[in-house]
Structure 1
Amino acid sequence: MAEKLKRPLLLVGCGKMGGAMLEGWLASGIAAAGAYVVEPFGADAFANRRDVTVVSSVEELPADLSPQVIILAVKPQAMSAVVGAYAKFATPDCLFVSVAAGTTISFFEAELGPQAAIVRAMPNTPAAVGQGITVICPNAKATAQQVADADILLQAVGETARIEDEALMDAVTGVSGSGPAYVFFMIECMAKAGVDAGLPEDLAARLALQTVAGAGHLARQSDDTPDQLRRNVTSPNGTTQAALDVLMADDGLQPLMTKAVAAAANRGRELAG
């Protein structure tokens, strides 16, 4: 079992990402000291749990609450209207973890005070099934133990990685934060291509979904690199090679993916102002 927090955690925002993370924390036992959720639009899935207290605003939290970790999981566009109310918790022994895309550490330091210990994190939606990956970047005030606490929390919903240069977080967003949507769209495109080739719609959808899911699982389990796995399934002058000649052309998938990731990264920088 993962190491348990000694004091409660406080989750601000309980949408799909926040809810997925909270499910992981409760299941793993990390939140053994209890969890508080501030969610004005309801968190029905947790409302009847004895180990979770759901309130609609920060004013409804107990006056003596001393959270060990505060997770900020509201949308980036709403963060400036929300975060200032939590400055009262910004003591050296309270860690703030933000999962808001494009919202910088310097923004939180300005809102919470220069003494605030902050870890900026970029998770992705496979966290909902415990298969996410989250990249974290701490500020100078976060202690080694607090960074370890953030790592333990985020490992409850998948893998973690750490960067020291916050400027890389926009590229992380472009690859892994937004990346699941690219894969889902690829499934859509493969299914549509199958229909265009004459397959029934339900069969094309099933083939596309299981092929992507199975290929991803194989890539995780195999000792071979994706490049080698691609070569393993590609016979010279065969059907796969014919398709790859299109996908690997100068105007094929790679330049399109590079452009897509760059667009996401640029949008992250725009959100940061």
Structure 2
Amino acid sequence: MNATQPLAQIKGPIVLAGAGKMGGAMLTGWLAGGLDPKQVALIEPYPSDDIRALAAKGIRLNPSAKEVGAAATLVVALKPQSFREAGSALKPFAAPSTLVVSIMAGMTIASISDVCGGSVVRAMPNTPAAIGRGITVAVAAGSVSAGQRAVADALLRATGSVEWVDDEKLMDAVTAVSGSGPAYVFLLAEELACAGVEAGLPEALATKLARETVAGSGELLHRSEFASAVLRQNVTSPGGTTAAALEVLMGPDGMQSLLIRAVAAATKRSRELAK
């Protein structure tokens, strides 16, 4: 199959390990995209009510490896800190021919292959996947076939757009920019509301103004053909209120400096998780 073919054309059993926010979002996207629930086996010791409802549609919940056999595809959506302990229980689900797709921060292709075996695709999605607006970056091991890469692309694309890179070393910076990035945007809304309160606005109004401004600006950026710098300039009149604020935000200790340091810290932490 190729990446434009529907999920319904994916063949063989798919094992999903972990159904937290990201794993659950992926599962929801797969089923909405037409994947047969009976193809999916879910390994999740603490399933939420929402996940149990999805399981009622035909997904096998916590079957044994003997019941499933070797999966055509194993998707690992565990927390990286728990992977090495829990990962050994996943190995019986994987054969040398199994496509293993990991969405764990920091875990390298080599470490995933060492624990699970199979042919590994390492991917990093982000939380807007929950509304189908995520972006995922992926890199494939050399053993991944063109067909397996297309399957991985289709599974990942069920929650948003997908970009592929050839250099795995980029994945730590990807994690820092887009994987962790939604938290930076939510912090912007949070702190903008606090600044509004400091300026004298009632808290409820400040919160609504900040939330809607960030959400609306993001949607404008999504729909616009212009670069973010152009959109920023379009809001900024010389000598006006926006220009006064941007003098602070774009100053020596402003947003650029803070984000460079923040992304560097997240990149460093991503590398540490692999050790």
TM bucket, shorter chain: over 0.9
8 Å CA contact 1:72–1:100 kept in 2: the answer is yes
Match of 2:34 in 1: 29
CA distance in 2, matches of 1:157, 1:237: 42
Q: Secondary structure at the match of 2:101?
A: strand
Unmatched 5+ stretches in structure 1: none
Match of 1:147 in 2: 149
Cα gap change, 1:64 to 1:196, in 2 (>3 Å): closer
Q: Secondary structure at the match of 1:63?
A: helix
CA distance in 2, matches of 1:101, 1:64: 27
Cα deviation per residue 1:209-256 (whole Å; 9 max; x = unaligned)? 111111111111111111111111100000000000000111110010
Shift of 1:53: 1.4
Q: What is the aligned counterpart of 2:67 among 49, 56, 63? A: 63
Question: Matches of residues 80-99 of structure 1 in structure 2 within 5 Å?
Answer: 80-99=84-103
**In terms of mean alpha carbon deviation, does 235-244 or 90-99 score higher?**
90-99
Cα deviation per residue 1:63-98 (whole Å; 9 max; x = unaligned)? 353422111011001100122223234334421101
Match of 1:12 in 2: 17
Match of 1:77 in 2: 81
CA distance in 1, matches of 2:24, 2:267: 25
**In terms of mean alpha carbon deviation, does 3-12 or 87-96 score higher?**
87-96
8 Å CA contact 2:70–2:94 kept in 1: the answer is no
TM-score, scaled to structure 1: 0.94
8 Å CA contact 2:76–2:104 kept in 1: the answer is yes
Where in structure 1 do 4 or more consecutive aligned residues deviate above 4 Å? Answer: none
Unmatched 5+ stretches in structure 2: none
Match of 2:160 in 1: 158
**How many residues are paired up?**
268
Percent identical residues? 48
Shift of 1:193: 0.4
> What residue identity is the alignment partner of 2:74?
I
Q: Secondary structure at the match of 1:47?
A: helix
CA distance in 2, matches of 1:14, 1:272: 22
Q: Secondary structure at the match of 2:42?
A: strand
8 Å CA contact 1:36–1:52 kept in 2: the answer is yes
Cα deviation per residue 1:46-76 (whole Å; 9 max; x = unaligned)? 3242321111xx6x34435342211101100
CA distance in 2, matches of 1:63, 1:200: 58
Q: What is the aligned counterpart of 1:54 among 51, 61, 81? A: 61
CA RMSD of aligned residues (A): 1.5
8 Å CA contact 1:46–1:54 kept in 2: the answer is no
Question: Matches of residues 98-247 of structure 1 in structure 2 within 5 Å?
Answer: 98-113=102-117, 116-247=118-249
Q: Secondary structure at the match of 1:41?
A: coil
> What residue identity is the alignment partner of 2:57?
R
Q: Secondary structure at the match of 2:178?
A: helix
Q: Secondary structure at the match of 2:45?
A: coil
Shift of 1:33: 4.9
Pair 1:265 & 2:274 matched:
no
Cα gap change, 1:263 to 1:31, in 2 (>3 Å): farther
Cα deviation per residue 1:27-58 (whole Å; 9 max; x = unaligned)? 11134552111111124323242321111xx6
